[in-house]
Amino acid sequence: MHAQTEIGYNSKVEGDVVVTRLDAAINWFRKNSLWPMPMGLACCAIELMATGASRFDISRFGAEVMRFSPRQSDVMIVAGTVTYKMALAVKRIYDQMAEPKWVIAMGACASTGGMYRSYAVLQGVDHILPVDVYIAGCPPRPEALLDALIKLQNKVAKEPVLATWKKVA
Amino acid sequence: MAELREIELPDAGARIAQAEELQDLHGEKMVLNMGPSHPATHGVLRIVLELDGEIITKATPEIGYLHRGDEKIAENMTFTQFIPYTDRLDYLAPLANNVAYVMAVEKLMGISQQVPPRCQFIRVICAELARVSSHLLGLGSYAMDVGAMTVFLHTFTEREKIYNLCESLTGARFTTSYTRIGGLARDLPPGWTDQLRKFCNEVVVDLDETETLLTRNRIFVDRTQGVGVISGEEAIDYGLSGPNLRGSGIEHDLRKAQPYLVYDQLEFEVPVGTAGDCYDRYLLRIEEMRQSVRLLHQCLDKLPGGPVNVPDGKIVLPPKDRVLTKMEELIHHFINVTQGVNAPAGEIYFGHENPKGELGFYINSKGGGTPYRLKIRSPSFVNLSILPKLLPGHMVSDVVAILGSFDFVMGECDR
Amino acid sequence: MEKSGLISLLTLTPVTALELAQSLKAKFSDVVSDPAEFRGELTLKISDAERLPGICAVAKKDLGFDYLVDITSIDNYGDDPRFTLVYHLYGYGHGRYLRLKADVSEEKGEAPTVTGVWRTADWHEREIYDMMGVRFRGHPDLRRIIMWPGYPYYPLRKDFPLAGRQSDAPEVAFSEPAPLAGGPFVTIAGGKDTISREPRVRIPETDAIEMNARVERRQDLKGARGQAHGPGPIDKGRKGAG
Q: How confident is the model over B120-145, as pLDDT tens digits?
A: 999 999 999 999 999 999 999 898 88
Could you give the CA distance from residue A75 to residue B203 in angstroms, rounded to a whole number? 35
Enter the CATH code of domain B62-414.
Answer: 1.10.645.10
| Same domain, yes or no: C110 and C18 | yes
Instruction: Give whole-number Cα distances, A77 to A83, A142, A148, in Å.
Output: 16, 13, 10
Q: Which stretches of chain A are assigned E, i.e. beta strand?
A: 12-13, 17-18, 36-40, 75-79, 102-106, 133-135
Mean pLDDT on C57-74: 90
DSSP codes of every residue in B37-101: S-TTSSSS-EEEEEEETTEEEEEEEE--TT---HHHHHTTS-TGGGHHHHHTTSTTSHHHHHHHH
| Same domain, yes or no: C130 and C42 | yes
Decide if C150 is inside a domain: no
Tell me whether B44 touches chain C (CB under 8 Å): no
Could you give the CA distance from residue A106 to residue A39 in angstroms, rounded to a whole number? 10
Closest by Cα among A5, C188, C173 to B63: C173
CB C115 within 8 A of CB C93: no
Residue ranges per structural domain of chain B: 62-414
Decide if C52 is inside a domain: yes
**pLDDT (0 to 100) of residue C129:** 92
Could you give the CA distance from residue A139 to residue A135 in angstroms, rounded to a whole number? 9
Minimal Cα distance from C97: which residue of B? B349
Is the CB of C164 less than 8 angstroms away from the CB of A123?
A: no
**Cis, bond preceding B311 (omega within 30 deg of 0):** no
Tell me whether B69 touches chain C (CB under 8 Å): yes
CB half-sphere exposure, B382, CA atoms < 13 A: 30
**pLDDT (0 to 100) of residue B286:** 93
Interface of B with C in 2-31 (CB under 8 A): 30-31
CB atoms within 10 A of CB B257: 17
Could you give the CA distance from residue B122 to residue A101 in angstroms, rounded to a whole number? 47
> B149-170 and A43-52 are packed helices; what angle lies between their axes, rounded to 10 degrees?
120
CB C181 within 8 A of CB C241: yes
**pLDDT (0 to 100) of residue C228:** 38
Mean pLDDT on B68-83: 91
Decide if C122 is inside a domain: yes
**pLDDT (0 to 100) of residue C213:** 55
**pLDDT (0 to 100) of residue C73:** 92
Decide if C56 is inside a domain: yes
Mean pLDDT, all residues of chain C: 75
**pLDDT (0 to 100) of residue C232:** 38
User: What confidence tier does C24 reach under pLDDT thresholds 50, 70, 90?
Assistant: confident
Residues of C in contact with A128 (CB under 8 A): 234
Judged by average pLDDT, the poorest of A160-169, B192-201, B341-350 is: A160-169
**pLDDT (0 to 100) of residue B132:** 94
Give the helix/strand (H/E) hosting A25. helix A22-31
Decide if C120 is inside a domain: yes
**B230 Cβ contact partners less than 8 Å away, ≥ 6 residues apart:** B240, B244, B247, B248, B276, B386, B390
**B400 Cβ contact partners less than 8 Å away, ≥ 6 residues apart:** B40, B145, B146
**pLDDT (0 to 100) of residue C240:** 36
**pLDDT (0 to 100) of residue A25:** 85
Could you give the CA distance from residue B5 to residue B58 in angstroms, rounded to a whole number? 10
| Same domain, yes or no: C201 and C123 | no
Mean pLDDT on C172-190: 57
| Same domain, yes or no: C182 and C130 | no
Mean pLDDT on C87-109: 89
| Same domain, yes or no: C31 and C103 | yes
Higher pLDDT residue, A7 or B212?
Answer: B212
User: What confidence tier does B27 reach under pLDDT thresholds 50, 70, 90?
Assistant: low
Question: Percent of chain B at pLDDT above 90?
Answer: 41
Question: Percent of chain C at pLDDT above 90?
Answer: 14
Minimal Cα distance from B171: which residue of A? A141
Could you give the CA distance from residue B286 to residue B271 in angstroms, rounded to a whole number? 10
> β-strands C41-46, B357-368: how paired?
unpaired
User: What confidence tier does A157 reach under pLDDT thresholds 50, 70, 90?
Assistant: confident
**pLDDT (0 to 100) of residue C167:** 78
Mean pLDDT on B61-65: 89
* Dihedral pair phi/psi, residue B137, rounded to 5°: -70, -40
- Give bridge partners of residue C103 from the DSSP assignment: C84
CB atoms within 10 A of CB C188: 18
Could you give the CA distance from residue C70 to residue C87 in angstroms, rounded to a whole number? 6
Decide if C167 is inside a domain: no
Decide if C54 is inside a domain: yes
**pLDDT (0 to 100) of residue B35:** 76
> Based on the structure, what is the number of domains in chain C?
2
User: What confidence tier does A66 reach under pLDDT thresholds 50, 70, 90?
Assistant: confident
**pLDDT (0 to 100) of residue C175:** 47
Note down the domain range covering C228: 176-233
| Same domain, yes or no: C50 and C129 | yes
Mean pLDDT on A65-94: 87
pLDDT at B37 over 80: no
Could you give the CA distance from residue C112 to residue C134 in angstroms, rounded to a whole number? 10
- Scanning chain C, the segments in alpha helix (DSSP H) are 17-27, 52-61, 121-132, 194-197, 207-225
- pLDDT tens across C123-145, in order? 999 999 999 999 999 898 888 88
| Same domain, yes or no: C24 and C124 | yes
* Cβ-nearest to A95 among C147, C172, C191: C191
Could you give the CA distance from residue C20 to residue C15 in angstroms, rounded to a whole number? 7
User: What confidence tier does C87 reach under pLDDT thresholds 50, 70, 90?
Assistant: very high
* Dihedral pair phi/psi, residue A40, rounded to 5°: -85, 105
Judged by average pLDDT, the poorest of B67-76, B237-246, B304-313 is: B304-313
Q: For chain C, how big is the Rg over CA atoms in Å?
A: 25
Could you give the CA distance from residue C234 to residue A50 in angstroms, rounded to a whole number? 31
φ/ψ region of B191 (left if φ > 0, alpha if ψ in -120 to 50, else beta) reads left
* Cβ-nearest to B66 among A42, A50, A119: A42
> β-strands B46-52, B55-62: how paired?
antiparallel
Closest by Cα among C20, A115, C7, A36 to B252: C7
Tell me whether A91 touches chain C (CB under 8 Å): yes
**pLDDT (0 to 100) of residue A10:** 53
Could you give the CA distance from residue C109 to residue C104 in angstroms, rounded to a whole number? 6
Mean pLDDT on B269-291: 91
pLDDT at C198 over 70: no
pLDDT at B2 over 60: no
- pLDDT tens across B297-356, in order? 999 999 998 888 888 878 888 888 888 999 988 998 998 888 888 889 999 999 999 999
Minimal Cα distance from C178: which residue of B? B33
The last residue of one of the domains, among C118, C137, C156, is C137
CB-defined contacts A:B, below 8 A: 85
What is the residue type of C8? S
**pLDDT (0 to 100) of residue A20:** 78
**Helix/strand/coil percent split, chain B, to 5:** 50, 15, 35
| Same domain, yes or no: C16 and C93 | yes
Is the CB of C10 less than 8 angstroms away from the CB of B73?
A: no
Instruction: Give whole-number Cα distances, A158 to A60, A148, A149, B28, B226, in Å.
Output: 21, 16, 14, 53, 56
CB B102 within 8 A of CB B80: no
**pLDDT (0 to 100) of residue C235:** 41
Could you give the CA distance from residue B177 to residue B78 in angstroms, rounded to a whole number? 15
What's the gap in Å between the CA of B38 and the closest CA on chain A?
A: 7
- pLDDT tens across B175-194, in order? 888 999 988 988 899 999 99
Give the helix/strand (H/E) hosting C101. strand C97-104
Q: What is the CATH number of the domain that holds C64?
A: 3.30.460.80
Residues of B in contact with A91 (CB under 8 A): none
| Residues in chain B whose Cβ is within 8 Å of chain A | 36-39, 43-44, 64-69, 72-73, 84-85, 87-88, 91-92, 137, 141, 152-153, 156-157, 159-160, 163, 173-175, 410-411
Mean pLDDT on A110-114: 90
Is the CB of B160 less than 8 angstroms away from the CB of A80?
A: no
Is the CB of A88 less than 8 angstroms away from the CB of C190?
A: no
pTM of the model: 0.84
- Chains that contact B by 3+ CB pairs under 8 Å? A, C
**pLDDT (0 to 100) of residue A100:** 85
**Cis, bond preceding A100 (omega within 30 deg of 0):** yes
pLDDT at A149 over 90: yes
ipTM: 0.85
Could you give the CA distance from residue C230 to residue B56 in angstroms, rounded to a whole number? 41
| Same domain, yes or no: C82 and C129 | yes
pLDDT at B107 over 60: yes
The last residue of one of the domains, among C137, C160, C186, is C137
* Cβ-nearest to C156 among B71, B274, B347: B71
**pLDDT (0 to 100) of residue B319:** 85
Sign for the CA dihedral angle at B322, B328, B334, B339 comes to negative
Is the CB of A117 less than 8 angstroms away from the CB of C163?
A: yes
pLDDT at B383 over 70: yes
Tell me whether A87 touches chain C (CB under 8 Å): yes
Sign for the CA dihedral angle at B65, B70, B73, B75 comes to negative
Minimal Cα distance from A83: which residue of C? C147
Decide if C165 is inside a domain: no
Is the CB of A80 less than 8 angstroms away from the CB of B66?
A: yes
> β-strands A36-40, A75-79: how paired?
parallel
Interface of B with C in 100-129 (CB under 8 A): 107-108, 110
Is the CB of C232 less than 8 angstroms away from the CB of A127?
A: no
DSSP codes of every residue in B142-209: HHHHHT-HHHHHHHHHHHHHHHHHHHHHHSSSS----EETTEESS-PPTTHHHHHHHHHHHHHHHHHH
Interface of B with C in 250-269 (CB under 8 A): 250-252, 256-258, 269
Which of C61, C69, C122, C180 should we substitute to test contact with B (largest number of B Cβ atoms within 10 Å)?
A: C69
What is the residue type of A68? F
**pLDDT (0 to 100) of residue C230:** 34
| Same domain, yes or no: C119 and C60 | yes
pLDDT at C221 over 60: no
